[in-house]
Amino acid sequence: MTDSQDQISAAVIVPLRSETRTASQQPTPPSSFTPQISFDRFELNALLSLYGRKVADGEWRDYAMDFMKDRAVFSVFRRSAEYPLYRIEKNPKLARRQGAYSVITAAGQVLKRGHELARVLAVLDKPVRLVV
């Protein structure tokens, strides 16, 4: 090889960005990982099914989901700029006591608390009765 070919091949070999890490970019060890509470597929199916029925009735318009270290919250709104009408919370710390699921009003009143999400959501899915 000639000197010009050695210079070209030396110029082409550069370290990739992923190979050069500083001390602050080191991956965190798995022991410091804290899991985040979330809804599973069946819980989301129940929540979104109720939400769809209430949107079709014209009662609800928007929703939000928050996932924190200690609980997961599904909030429903009449309008998106307002405070939530209801918060459906999943708090696993209360699973052995009062139940992991609860429905809370905008004022902070707990409507229903329980171990099964379907029974807790039943408080929001009451049929409308005609008052004469």
Is it the case that residue 29 has pLDDT exceeding 80? no
Higher pLDDT, 43 or 18: 43
Res. 14: pLDDT tops 60: no
Residue 67, classed as helix, strand or coil, is strand
* 89 against 13, higher pLDDT: 89
pLDDT of 81 strictly over 90 = no
Domain residue ranges in the chain: 41-121
| Separation between Cα atoms, residue 69 and residue 36, nearest integer Å | 5
Average pLDDT score over residue span 61-82: 88
Mean pLDDT, residues 108-112 taken together: 91
With beta carbons less than 8 A apart as the criterion, state whether 65 and 98 touch: no
- In this predicted structure, the answer to whether residue 87 has a pLDDT above a threshold of 80 is yes
Residue type, 105: T
